[in-house]
A and B are shown apart, each in its own frame.
Chain A
């Protein structure tokens, strides 16, 4: 008889307008690494939050080690031996590592935190699992990879037997992912059970004993890790086969953008970069290495201390965003909800932002509403933005459609240079595919595109060339056909440099 550490039966959860979990049954065996995969919105995170007691299901039962349990809040889950590493880390940045680990289960002596006992206990724990983190450092000073280890130790410190990891690899570079997998294998050897949530199929196949696939709130399949393959999983996950976008060959056109010795301390030291007509230049780098500042300089939000930016051989580093837009630079900002859109403006108003002051949208300072509306209707149609009317507040659109509003706005004016920062972050596979196709057809029309993404797959499949930024400098210009992700990772972590 197989022993299950965790079983759910008939878990159902409604959110307003969505059925996030529909009669979900999963069975997790003691001591296995079990992946749960599915697109965004498939209900994986909801299910995990239910198991961890962060939300209550409308219906359904959970069995832990064969006994029916009521997990009404995280304390209950922790007491049972269930621990969870959330997608967005649940750490307190200004606290030290040891404070973060013991928070909620502190060791005290006469009411005062007993740091000596805490640290010796933690060292013992780290030794026994072969993990090591700097206990005295503040979490805000640590890299993402180390923060994740802190999260794992947090669970082990609470005696977790079942570890849930929600999209643990999303922010890691390939080397860190490899290290994480070694840690997980090691934990498995020591008898821990691991639930691994992901939508990256390669990783799932590499690490899993068994895989459960979810789609639209339902379990649609359960397979053995050894026998599964990427195609089958993808079909289960999406419900149809996906074609990965193909880059058509291109001939290097004339120069559109050139950066010479751009510097803005502390983040940017010396950036030299050239971008040509009709190409997608991928920008790869670990967050915080200067890419955000670089993109903001090109779009006029920041001014460099020194160095020059040429757009079509004209010096532009001192121009403001409006002037840059007027000479043909479009921008898809990283955070669509705070920078890209005004959520409490309508679709039409958002579409017109940036050219609202120009004729025919504005005549002598007064908005020309009929023209604005007509333009918005055209764009909504052209970019297949799903909204009941253009007068709807953008807040009420899905993430994918919000992003399409931005793309529509930026592409409609046919810029010659498009700066796209994380254009598909947080979007599901379908919406991502659409955005990719839009970018590729823009490229085909001769647009020069600078694409920054933390998703290396995206960079690898869409880019003609890849520029890697590390510590404020471009450390390599690579061709995606000639390298693999691991090599790219080496450049991104500064281990290699041209």
Chain B
């Protein structure tokens, strides 16, 4: 039984499960490194998942779906940015409100557009990329994900933009005194997180389910944030953490059908998340001004 569970297949399934989490988690890194807590990622993923299906449904082109997902995520993030950066409203409240709004909005629009409650019609998925000379296939989104992880790691730690973004999250007043536009930097971090969160959601609907189901993110945005914390607000760390969560989810799918009540099995990813967070609390240090509005 163990052999059947732990296999290459399990790992590849874990990788697939980790993709949406990783994208959202990277988004969280950009937002929080700049000093804005973005728990709206849950809602952003949901509108991303919805946008991907809408875009694909109307054009039959999943790449258009992908762009729509990014756009929808961007728009939700824009609201979060305006509310929490410009108007300095509590970031948790803004995020919570947007999550609730995202649930309502996608449900409403889904019923309006697809004329059916619960879910959309099935859609065309993405054409898998084949490794040259082999039969191995891989989702383009996984390739994109690895590219984004590496680019993010470099951007955040090696470039001027990254240095300034991190300064805005650690001590915005220092950044301001050196002539850095803190408001603009924070906007950029949040908007990037919207685009990435949208991509994460797109993978859920476009690659996993090939359909949009109401409320289909089921807390993945929050798990992604846990991954970001466990990964110490670094892109590589976040990916590693999300892969672990992906593994838990893959395991969950494997274990179904082994006679254990499904309710318990479905708890696995969430329990792993909680255990990880308990273990990590106090050791992972958030950016010093994470979550604190900047006021001149």
Contact = CB atoms under 8 A, between A and B. Distances in A.
Question: Do A and B make up one complex?
Answer: yes
Interface of A: 52, 54, 73-75, 78, 84, 86, 90-95, 99-100, 102-106, 108, 111-113, 154
A90 B179 contact: no
Given A84-B177, A93-B288, A95-B163, 6 more contacts: A92-B166, A95-B167, A103-B180, A112-B154, A112-B159, A113-B159
B178 interface: yes
A369 B163 CA distance: 55
Contacts of B154: 112
Contacts of B177: 52, 54, 74, 84, 86, 90
A415 to B, nearest CB: 35
Interface of B: 154, 158-160, 163-164, 166-167, 170-171, 173-180, 285, 288, 296
Ordered nearest first, which 7 A-B pairs have the shortest CB separation?
A: A75-B179, A104-B178, A90-B174, A90-B177, A106-B160, A92-B170, A92-B171
21 contacts: A54-B177, A75-B179, A90-B174, A90-B178, A92-B166, A92-B175, A93-B288, A94-B285, A99-B163, A100-B174, A103-B164, A103-B167, A103-B175, A103-B178, A103-B180, A104-B178, A104-B179, A111-B159, A112-B158, A112-B159, A113-B159
B189 to A, nearest CB: 16
- Would you call the interface of chain B mostly helix, strand, loop, or mixed? helix
A266 to B, nearest CB: 16
Contacts of B174: 90-92, 100, 103
Contacts of A74: 176-179
- Would you call the interface of chain A mostly helix, strand, loop, or mixed? loop
B173 A90 contact: yes
B179 A78 contact: yes
Contact of B163 (A86, A91, A113): A113
B163 A106 contact: yes
Given A103-B163, A113-B159, A95 B179 contact: no
A101 to B, nearest CB: 10
A90 B167 CA distance: 11
A90 B171 contact: yes
Contacts of A105: 178
A76 to B, nearest CB: 8
Contacts of A73: 179
Nearest to B155: A111
A54 B163 CA distance: 22
B172 to A, nearest CB: 10
B170 A104 contact: no
Contact of B160 (A78, A92, A108): A108
A108 B159 contact: yes
Contacts of A54: 176-177, 296
Contacts of A102: 163
A480 B141 CA distance: 72
Contacts of A93: 170-171, 288
A171 B174 CA distance: 19
